[in-house]
Amino acid sequence: MGKIILTGDRPTGKLHLGHYVGSLKNRVKLQNSGEYDEIYLMIADSQALTDNFDNPRKVRDNVLEVALFYLACGIDPNKTNIFIQSQVPALTELTFYYMNLVTVARLHRNPTVKSEVKLRGFEESIPSGFLNYPVSQAADITAFAATTIPVGDDQLPMIEQTREIVHSFNRIYGEILVEPKELLPESNKEKRLPGIDGKAKMSKSLGNCIYLDDSDEDINKKVMQMYTDPDHIKVSDPGKVEGNVVFTYLDVFCKDSHFDTYLPEYKNLDELKEHYTKGGLGDVVIKRFLAKILCEVIKPIREKREELLQNLDYVYDVLKQGTEKANEKATITLNRVREQMGIDYFENSKFLDEMKEKFNK
């Protein structure tokens, strides 16, 4: 059995630094590691519709957008198969069969769904499609026989749910589905980048994002607004590094070589932190330093995206071909599922032979 990756994103907006740190960078690394036999990267438009059903334009408008960012960040379509979820009908059909294996009470217990329901004000009446999206995620994962799901910890309940479905299916219908395992970020700092306002998560709706196509000017402006230490008022005041967004970002992005290039007065981040903690180091200095580093990170992505924008036909083609390949693979799984469930009536005339035998007895 091969090592197969499946992962994806809902196309609801531009991708930002939080996506880059939390998943994109790692996906490119996994892609180039040569350790995986097949890699599928899904633009989850059907799932995006479960909470944007009343705004289909938003989903439609962001499908190519997300693909552009994938390619701009270094996803290579020769190694990673990028596809559009809704264009693989086998996924929808699998979802319908898997729904039989999950109770409504179990769906209500999913902690990620719970918090999203609150966030979206669905408490009064949850759309059943939304409640069911973890089941559809199980379909996504099993359709490709994925063994490895690189995700953040908010997705753990989905993978747990998938494993439960796999167990039930295999027990009732026969052992054909592959049990997936999550692949969590290696280090704590890759887990989740806070917003520029210090809120736990970078998110479009909170307006606290640095986008992967922001100009140097945008980046500078946003870094200058960053939340630091509210008690660090005068330069001479001692400053706090914990919970200071500038340092959280520096922890993620800063390398010793950046000091040589941009801030030669210091050897490394430890020295900078020490000075800040002692007092005598102003926010503007650390912010300018961070801004330069972030400009360096984002520039190649922004430029690659601009280049791709001149060639949308190519991007479209990548999606079309990727979706074709995804359909081939998912259809194989669907056919096996139908066979195991005994709903393969028109395959090999097996059904008719059986019925003839039954009626001739």
- Which residues contact ligand TRP by CB under 6 A? 6-10, 44, 47, 137, 140-141, 149, 151, 155
CB nearer ligand TRP, residue 83 or residue 259: 83
Q: Which of 50, 128, 44, 127 is nearest to 86 (CA)?
A: 44
Q: What is the 3-state secondary structure (H, E, C) of 257-272?
A: HHHHHHCCCCCCHHHH
> CB-wise, 37 or 274, nearer to ligand TRP?
37
CB of 140 to ligand TRP, least distance (A): 4
- Cβ-contact 258, 293 below 8 angstroms: yes
- Kindly provide the b/e burial profile for residues 144-170, where b requires at least 16 CB atoms within 10 angstroms of the residue's own CB: bbbbbbbbeeebebbbebbbebbeebe
* Structure-token pair, residue 287: 């912010």
The least CB distance from residue 215 to ligand TRP, in Å, is 27
CA 298 to chain centre: 19
How many Cα atoms occupy the beta-carbon half-sphere of 211 within 13 Å?
Answer: 15
Residue closer to ligand TRP, measured from CB, 149 or 166: 149
**Euclidean distance between CA atoms 121 and 215, whole angstroms:** 34
Q: Which residue is nearest to ligand TRP (CB)?
A: 44
**What's the closest the beta carbon of residue 336 comes to ligand TRP, in angstroms?**
20
Nearest approach, Cβ of 47 to ligand TRP (angstroms)? 5
The nearer residue to ligand TRP, 183 or 285, going by C-beta atoms, is 183
Residues present in the chain in total: 361
CB nearer to ligand TRP: pick between 130 and 266: 130
Q: Cβ 162 to ligand TRP, closest distance in Å?
A: 8
